[in-house]
């Protein structure tokens, strides 16, 4: 009840602000388009810059205002955004993940319906049905997808693998654990690198996919798979074993630091989404020579999906400018400028695959043929509240290493958010 009235209050405050011209008033103010993301460095920033330069070209009368808040996966940005929305001070547009995360904002009455913009831009014909479905609530479409990312990817250093004579990718978590043991024996101190809590959640989600299979994993989110089951216990034990091969300084690191472990030759593997491809490109590193990739062992043929999208908040300052931004995001030119740098693949089905790097060309193919499952760590599978509970249980597990306790916490998180 309290939450509902707070949200309603924020919406009213936002409308009042807009009506009084707060941020959206006359003169130069109306030209500003404030866009909120968490893309501040490396390939992420390069991608955003690409989108911004397309926006400037397509809509020169508007001024892009960058409201990015640093921190991988929106770990800081989402809190800042929540308080801005609650106090009725939304940006012109903000980044949100397709799926459960977006649904939260919609259900809270914080977003405007974009169905007519879709019609006018012909996007219903250009974007894959499954993606549009993850942006739709009660028949209305609420955001514009910028990309498609894959979360179940291992990035590896070929020279480090050589030290343990590892020549082919493992095809299951248990085979992978054997390779990690070989690396340790060959003197590699950190066979697998990981960073702060949300990256551990991402690692765990890929182990759940590998061990439960796509249906078992998807069932965790719609209640069909029992969180207390023995197959989940096995996956959590596998996760515990993987964690024992990781760096102990993980809690102080963000994802680029964990990738750096691999590129510096200090670790063999890191599990991270394919924004890593954008980061590696930005550093001038080349596929095959400096890095290789494989699906997380046991998840070949499965595409752990997430998509970044942009919204039109209720009470958005400069609504016309915000819509212009959204048009750039959905345009062929905008998607190319963004995704060629970001490591993701374009959402538009009329994109030209040869504009993209080898890794991305493969991802385009895989997205078309793999079984698609929703990413947990990146807002596709569950609501923000459910993910927050899972993240604190997983973070806690990093200290306790108590599998029974973790399983109980995950099961009770599922119960309270279903």
Query: Which residues are at the interface with ligand GAL (CB under 6 A)?
Result: 38-39, 44, 72-74, 97, 149, 255, 273, 275, 306, 308, 378
Q: Which is nearer to ligand GAL, 157 or 309 (CB)?
A: 309
Say how far apart CA 239 and CA 409 lie, in whole Å: 15
CB of 170 or CB of 376, closer to ligand GAL:
376
Q: Which is nearer to ligand GAL, 200 or 225 (CB)?
A: 200
| Per-residue CA distances from 254 to 28, 249, 260, 342 (Å) | 38, 11, 10, 17
Minimum CB–partner distance for residue 166 and ligand GAL (Å): 27
Q: Give kind and range of the element (H or E) at residue 309.
A: strand 308-311
Cα–Cα distance for residue pair 195/197, rounded to 1 Å: 7
Residues 280 and 157: their CA atoms lie apart, in Å, by 12
CB of 233 to ligand GAL, least distance (A): 28
Instruction: Work out how close the CB of 344 gets to ligand GAL at its nearest, in angstroms, rounded to a whole number.
Output: 7
Ranges of H-type helices in 313-357: 319-330, 332-342
74/100 with CB nearer ligand GAL: 74
Give the whole-angstrom CA distance, residue 354 versus residue 358: 9
* Longest distance between any two alpha carbons in the chain, whole Å: 67
Q: Minimum distance from CB of 76 to ligand GAL (Å)?
A: 11
Shortest Cβ distance from residue 238 to ligand GAL (Å)? 24
Question: Which of 2, 12, 1 has its CA nearest to residue 314?
Answer: 12
Task: Name which of 327 and 378 has its Cβ closer to ligand GAL.
Answer: 378
Q: Least CB distance from residue 329 to ligand GAL, whole Å?
A: 13
Tokens found for residue 267: 């670790």
Whether 250 contacts 195, CB under 8 Å: yes
- Closest approach of ligand GAL to the CB of residue 26, in Å: 35
Q: Which is nearer to ligand GAL, 70 or 411 (CB)?
A: 70
Q: Are 215 and 374 in contact (CB under 8 A)?
A: no
Task: State which residue, 84 or 378, has the beta carbon closest to ligand GAL.
Answer: 378
DSSP codes joined into one string, 355-369 = GS-HHHHHHHHHHHH
Which residue from 107, 109, 117 is spatially nearest to 144, judged by alpha carbons? 117
């Amino acid at each position: 009840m309290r939450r509902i009235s707070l949200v309603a209050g924020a919406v009213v405050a936002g409308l009042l602000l807009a009506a009084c011209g707060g941020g959206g008033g006359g003169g130069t103010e109306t030209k500003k388009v404030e866009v909120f993301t968490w893309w501040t460095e490396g390939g992420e920033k390069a991608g955003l810059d690409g989108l911004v330069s397309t926006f400037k070209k397509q809509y020169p009368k508007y001024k892009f205002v960058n409201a990015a808040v640093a921190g991988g996966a929106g770990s800081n940005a989402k809190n800042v955004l929540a308080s801005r929305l609650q106090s009725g001070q939304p940006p012109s547009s903000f980044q949100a993940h397709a799926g459960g995360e977006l649904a939260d904002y919609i259900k809270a009455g914080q977003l405007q319906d974009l169905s007519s913009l879709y019609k006018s831009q012909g996007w219903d014909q250009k974007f894959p049905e499954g993606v549009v479905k993850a942006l739709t609530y009660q028949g209305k479409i609420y955001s514009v997808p910028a990309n498609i990312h894959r979360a179940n990817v291992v990035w590896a250093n070929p020279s480090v693998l050589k030290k343990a004579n590892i020549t082919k990718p493992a095809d299951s978590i248990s085979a992978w654990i054997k390779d990690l043991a070989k690396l340790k024996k060959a003197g590699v101190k950190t066979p697998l690198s990981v960073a702060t809590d949300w990256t551990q959640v991402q690692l765990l989600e890929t182990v759940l996919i590998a061990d439960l299979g796509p249906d078992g994993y998807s069932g965790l989110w719609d209640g069909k798979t029992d969180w207390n089951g023995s197959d989940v216990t096995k996956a959590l034990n596998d996760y515990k074993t993987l964690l024992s091969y990781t760096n102990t300084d993980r809690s102080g690191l963000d994802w680029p630091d964990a990738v750096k472990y691999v590129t510096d030759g200090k670790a063999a593997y890191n599990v991270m989404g394919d924004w890593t491809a954008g980061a590696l490109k930005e550093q001038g590193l080349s596929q095959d020579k400096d890095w290789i990739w494989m699906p997380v062992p046991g998840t070949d043929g499965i595409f752990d999906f997430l998509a970044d999208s942009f919204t039109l908040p209720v009470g958005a300052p400069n609504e016309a400018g915000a819509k212009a931004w959204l048009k750039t995001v959905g345009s062929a030119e905008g998607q190319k400028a963004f995704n060629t740098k970001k490591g993701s693949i374009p959402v538009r089905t009329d994109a030209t695959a040869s504009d993209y790097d080898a890794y991305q060309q493969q991802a385009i193919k895989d997205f078309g043929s793999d079984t698609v499952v929703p990413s947990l760590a990146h807002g596709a599978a569950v609501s923000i509240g459910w993910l927050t509970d899972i993240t604190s249980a997983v973070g806690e597990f990093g200290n306790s290493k108590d599998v029974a306790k973790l399983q109980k916490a995950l099961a009770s998180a599922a119960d309270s958010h279903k």
